[in-house]
Amino acid sequence: MSEIHKFIFEGLPVRGAVVRLTDAWVEILRRRASNTTHGAYPPPVQALLGEMTAAAVLMQSNIKFNGSLIVQVFGDGPVKLAVVEVQSDFSLRATATVNGALSPDASLSQMVNAGNEGRCAITLDPKDRQPGQQPYQGVVPLFGDKREKLEKFSDVLQHYMLQSEQLDTTLVLAADDKVAAGLLIQRLPMAGSANLAGASSQADEDQIGLNEHYNRIALLAASLKREELLTLDVDTILHRLFWEEQLLRFEPLQGESGPRFACSCSRERVTKMMLGLGQAEADSILQERDVIEVGCDFCGLQYRFDAVDTAQIFRASHFPLPPSPLQ
């Protein structure tokens, strides 16, 4: 069962979380493998997307936000785009677009950042967005302060948190074909409540890299090995790393309140996409084939529209139905 465990270090300005995605992650991979067009992800893409998914759940668990958190990496390598979306109720989905061959041990830069122009974008999209309100988005390159290519996704996010949030963050991420897991340790803001959509104070920025409690705990967290993160249960991990620290643990999030796969695609959304495509383009496609087929990259569901369906879509857009008196 997929689960999130959150905790704080009692009396210290440090918080943490561990996520283990099992059934939710396996379902994402199963749907991709059953896609007759694309097939299963190559192992390095599987590892990258799993790490991104674990990281996105960790980030969503640390903010008070009613909406979706979207993590994307994109660039000029064989992996053109990888996307993870996690809702505030921890329903999640993920996908990656792969164009080209990859070596079995391809790194992040080899997959996404061949020309060092790759980017990571993190978006917060409110569920009840007001008219004119835009989602919050932060974008960072896939290189460090000296333009050196970053080879681990955890390094990219740690760099993002320093640049965008002025918060020290340590991440350990790992994924295989059964588990996607992550450990997050973060220095708490000195004052107020900082999150991805908020602002930190000068006092927070002045503390970067200097808090001895955080530095000690971060060093312990960084000693966690990939194999340990993938194979050990959360209680064992926390005891091995922090047995000398006073942890205050919260009730784990699992089952209906924890991470789970869910896709928000719908025929209505695809219909809106077709309207954006335009009737001329839709008719052109129908001249070449009997139906317009649109597949969801996240869940694999196929939507089919024949000539009658398409005509009704564009007719309704010109002559919308009056509002129901029952609404």
Q: Which domains does the chain have, with CATH numbers?
A: 3-261 (3.55.30.10), 267-318 (3.90.1280.10)
Top pLDDT among 326 and 30 is at 30
Are 169 and 161 in contact by the 8 Å Cβ rule? The answer is: yes
Tell me how far apart the alpha carbons of residues 185 and 13 are, in angstroms, rounded to a whole number: 11
Q: Please, which contacts does 280-285 make with residues 24 or more away whose CB atoms are closer than 8 Å? A: 282/310, 282/314, 283/310
Tell me how far apart the alpha carbons of residues 156 and 150 are, in angstroms, rounded to a whole number: 7
The CA-atom distances, in angstroms, between 135 and each of 70, 230, 243 are 10, 34, 41
Q: Give the per-residue pLDDT at 203.
A: 52
Tell me how far apart the alpha carbons of residues 203 and 189 are, in angstroms, rounded to a whole number: 8
Q: Does the pLDDT at position 241 exceed 90?
A: yes
The CA-atom distances, in angstroms, between 140 and each of 86, 162, 270, 273, 294 are 20, 11, 31, 29, 32
Pairing of strands 119-126, 67-74: antiparallel
Tell me how far apart the alpha carbons of residues 26 and 5 are, in angstroms, rounded to a whole number: 20
E-state strands within 142-202: 169-175, 180-187
Top pLDDT among 287 and 56 is at 56
Q: Hey, what are 295's tokens? A: 């597949």
Could you tell me the pLDDT band of residue 318, with boundaries at 50, 70 and 90?
low
Could you tell me the pLDDT band of residue 112, with boundaries at 50, 70 and 90?
very high
Q: Per-residue pLDDT averaged across 152-161, rounded?
A: 91
- Supply the pTM of this predicted model: 0.84
Ranked by mean pLDDT, the top range of 134-138, 188-192, 271-275 is 134-138
E-state strands within the chain: 3-9, 14-21, 67-74, 79-87, 91-98, 119-126, 136-141, 169-175, 180-187, 247-249, 253-254, 260-261, 292-295, 302-305
Q: Give the per-residue pLDDT at 36.
A: 65
Q: Give the per-residue pLDDT at 209.
A: 58
Are 92 and 24 in contact by the 8 Å Cβ rule? The answer is: yes
Contacts of 101 (CB under 8 A, 6+ apart): 78
Q: Nearest Cα to 63, choosing from 170, 136, 147, 2?
A: 136
Q: Give the per-residue pLDDT at 133.
A: 76
Q: Nearest Cα to 136, choosing from 236, 59, 30?
A: 59
pLDDT mean across residues, the chain: 84
- In one-letter notation, the amino acid at residue 247 is L
Q: What is the DSSP letter of 161?
A: I
Give the CA dihedral 262, 258, 33, 299, nearest 10 degrees: 10
Determine the 3-state secondary structure of 57 from DSSP. helix
Could you tell me the pLDDT band of residue 206, with boundaries at 50, 70 and 90?
low
Q: Give the per-residue pLDDT at 325.
A: 36
Q: Percent of the chain having pLDDT more than 90?
A: 46
Render pLDDT for 10-59 as a digit per residue (tens, 0 to 9).
989 899 999 999 999 999 999 888 876 778 899 999 999 999 999 999 99
